[in-house]
Structure 1
Amino acid sequence: MSAPLPSLDAAEFPDAETFRAQVMTAGKPVVLRGAVADWPMVAAGRSAADLSAFLQSRDAGRAAEMFVGPAAIAGRYHYGEGEGGFNFTRETLPYRAAIDRILATAGQEGRPTLYVGSLSIDQYLPGLLADHRLALVPAGVAPRIWLGHAASVACHYDLFDNVACVVAGRRRFTLYPPDAIGDLYVGPIDHTLAGQPISLADGSAPGDPLYPRFEQARERAITVELAAGDALYLPKLWWHRVEALDPYNLLVNFWWDGFASGPDQPQAAMLLAMIALAERPPAERAAWRAWFDHYVFRPDGHPLAHLPAERHGLLGPLRPVNYGRLRALVMRLLRG
């Protein structure tokens, strides 16, 4: 088990740029104890009845998709023999009805587990954001809301930086660093539970012969438990299993790319590289790896550090002009 995560005071970061410079650039998760303890929704969340009334009073009347898991899975949403190859079903219903069903049945033995996640607060609970801001998140980042019973969301990663704020109940996060990917036995990228591939090995018993390399990842796992009012900063590509520990649980999260130079995402580059490189001979892949290191990952610094900056051309700073020039070149190459 790795060392515990550092805990920081959210008040130390009066704006998003300070948080970006002092925390995000390190690429490591941090706990923000009490970061949202003053949110009105946290106060309402101490009672299922109060939370239901609070949310329904702001409901915009939209429909939502709810995960419904049979009692036998005990809230562990995963692959299975059921519809679509999963151990749960999906049901579309008014969000107001989902709130009522989740909170009215919380903690009841022998009942299905219910879960509604990743809903835009702006669309589903308009006006709520005004009283539920976080200074260290850039203005304009739209938060999302997750409500459900005690449950476990399979270990996955996100493509964006994430601040996850626990509003009601307790949450346990089990984290693995991005470079543990080879030891996690990741499932398909095009048949997923809710968007991102998941680790098939996470949660397996020690010594499981199906996943021998997972023992290396198990030793690196970081587990942290958050109470209502706490938050967790999780950099993109960090693997995380999320367990909601109480009969009802609510989380609000903020996703954004803290280091984007434009609209293009790194995953698109990876998928294109899979097409262009993945099935070439090992020697050629090794050669291209050296090129990627030199020009993209730059472990030895800028590839034209031996020349004056004014001679860097396309390898100069992306802004203000090179981003557009490089993108135009890429698009011409893709068009053949």
Structure 2
Amino acid sequence: MIRDAPAEALVDADRFRESVMTVGDPVVVRGATRHWPMMHTGIPQAVIDALTRHDAGEMAEVFVGDAAIGARYHYDDAMAGFNFRRETMPFGAALSAILTTADLPDRPSLYMGSLTAERFCPGIEAEVRLPIVPAGVRPRLWIGHASVVACHYDTMDNIACVAAGRRRFTLFPPDAIADLYVGPIDHNMAGQPVALAVGSAPGDRRYPLFERARHRALVVELEAGDALYVPKLWWHQVEATASFNVLVNYWWDGFATGPDQPYTTMLLAMTAIASRPAPERAAWRAWFDHYVFRPNGHPLAFLPNERHGILSAGRENIARVRAMAMRLLRG
């Protein structure tokens, strides 16, 4: 069960980071966006009016799915392509098409995702602020009919806010990855690999290991005005369940210590380590545990801080480690 965020954590970004994000579990923030001007009337039309008022006339990519796919955006049967097509049209025209066809039977499903507010609706970011999001983090918009977005992860911390319609999130913890049958890294719908087993029927012979993870699913229903904090690397399938839906989300790395991203590091480690013999992989695992994951604490804790060298805390030492790594990469 996903817990609700404690009220005392919702005062500001620092409090939320320390009391919620460091725990590493999803939390629901009920009523998080009800102070937004577009939410005051409680009707979707106010959200539509706000989007239209700030429309910058930019061209947007729209996912278009025939009625036969049931608005479940995914691979085609051969996994060579996808079961939807991509069309480009002015944002305002796409918004109008979504609105006017929302309640028509057997219509194609339409979906726009990850639209940066400052490009497509400049100025709306001032109307959709949250005190728990650090200043300077910009929102993105997700607009469409009812839909099912395949189970995936993000490499950033995420707060997803329902502005119109309803959303259902189905989440799995990061350590379920081996049981989810994760698809290709570089051939996917929108940039992230997806968990192919999620949504399959019980006993599906293609995904026998998923039966170990199926019961671990956390499901939460969000109404307009609610928000969900999803920690980085948590798997989540996102269903929009009303005929017209708008979600506003914020992505940021709440624990960045330097310019390098952990995912980039993992990709490089894959190329360097994954194909080596098992004994050598086990040896490198021990080194990663010692220096990176640190189950026993800092590797130089037995020495005074002034003897920790580049393993000392501080941005200047991060820069020294990066410089050393860059020299080694250049040979």
Fold match, TM over 0.5? yes
Partner SS state of residue 246, structure 1: coil
Per mean C-alpha deviation after superposition, the further-off stretch among 85-94 and 6-15 is: 6-15
Per mean C-alpha deviation after superposition, the further-off stretch among 288-297 and 121-130 is: 121-130
Cα separation, partners in 2 of 1:83 and 1:313, compared to 1, 3 Å: closer
Verify: 1:33 aligned to 2:69, yes or no: no
- Give 2:252's aligned residue: 256
Q: Which runs of 5+ in 1 are unaligned?
A: none
Matched residues in 2 for 1:114 and 1:167: separation?
18
Matches within 5 A, 1:152-301: 152-301=148-297
Matched residues in 2 for 1:239 and 1:174: separation?
8
Partner SS state of residue 205, structure 1: coil
- Give 1:7's aligned residue: 4
Q: Deviations over 1:30-78 (max 9, x none)?
A: 0000010121223467245x44333112101100000000001111000
* Percent identity (aligned): 62
- Give 1:53's aligned residue: 49
Verify: 1:103 aligned to 2:72, yes or no: no
Verify: 1:112 aligned to 2:118, yes or no: no
Cα separation, partners in 2 of 1:234 and 1:47, compared to 1, 3 Å: closer
Q: Deviations over 1:238-296 (max 9, x none)?
A: 00000000001100000000001122100111011011100000000000000000000
For normalisation by structure 2, the TM-score amounts to 0.97
Given that 1:44 and 1:51 are in contact with CA atoms closer than 8 Å, whether structure 2 keeps it comes out as no
For normalisation by structure 1, the TM-score amounts to 0.96
Given that 1:44 and 1:54 are in contact with CA atoms closer than 8 Å, whether structure 2 keeps it comes out as no
Deviation, 1:11, is 6.2
Structure 1 residue ranges, 4+ long, deviating more than 4 angstroms after superposition: 81-84
Matched residues in 1 for 2:226 and 2:325: separation?
43
Partner SS state of residue 167, structure 1: strand
Q: Which runs of 5+ in 2 are unaligned?
A: none
- Give 2:71's aligned residue: 75
Matched residues in 1 for 2:94 and 2:40: separation?
21
Aligned match for 2:137, one of 137, 141, 145: 141
Q: CA RMSD in A?
A: 1.5
Deviation, 1:315, is 1.2
Q: Deviations over 1:77-110 (max 9, x none)?
A: 0000599610000000000001000011112111
Cα separation, partners in 2 of 1:95 and 1:10, compared to 1, 3 Å: farther
Given that 2:184 and 2:193 are in contact with CA atoms closer than 8 Å, whether structure 1 keeps it comes out as yes
- Give 2:318's aligned residue: 323
Matched residues in 2 for 1:37 and 1:82: separation?
44
Deviation, 1:306, is 0.9
Partner SS state of residue 97, structure 1: helix
- Matched letter for residue 273 of structure 2: L
Given that 1:9 and 1:33 are in contact with CA atoms closer than 8 Å, whether structure 2 keeps it comes out as no
Count of aligned pairs between the two proteins = 331
Matched residues in 2 for 1:303 and 1:268: separation?
23
Matched residues in 2 for 1:95 and 1:144: separation?
14
Given that 1:176 and 1:240 are in contact with CA atoms closer than 8 Å, whether structure 2 keeps it comes out as yes
- Matched letter for residue 154 of structure 1: A
Deviation, 1:163, is 0.4
Deviation, 1:10, is 5.5
Partner SS state of residue 314, structure 1: helix
Given that 2:59 and 2:89 are in contact with CA atoms closer than 8 Å, whether structure 1 keeps it comes out as yes
- Give 1:18's aligned residue: 15
- Matched letter for residue 19 of structure 1: F
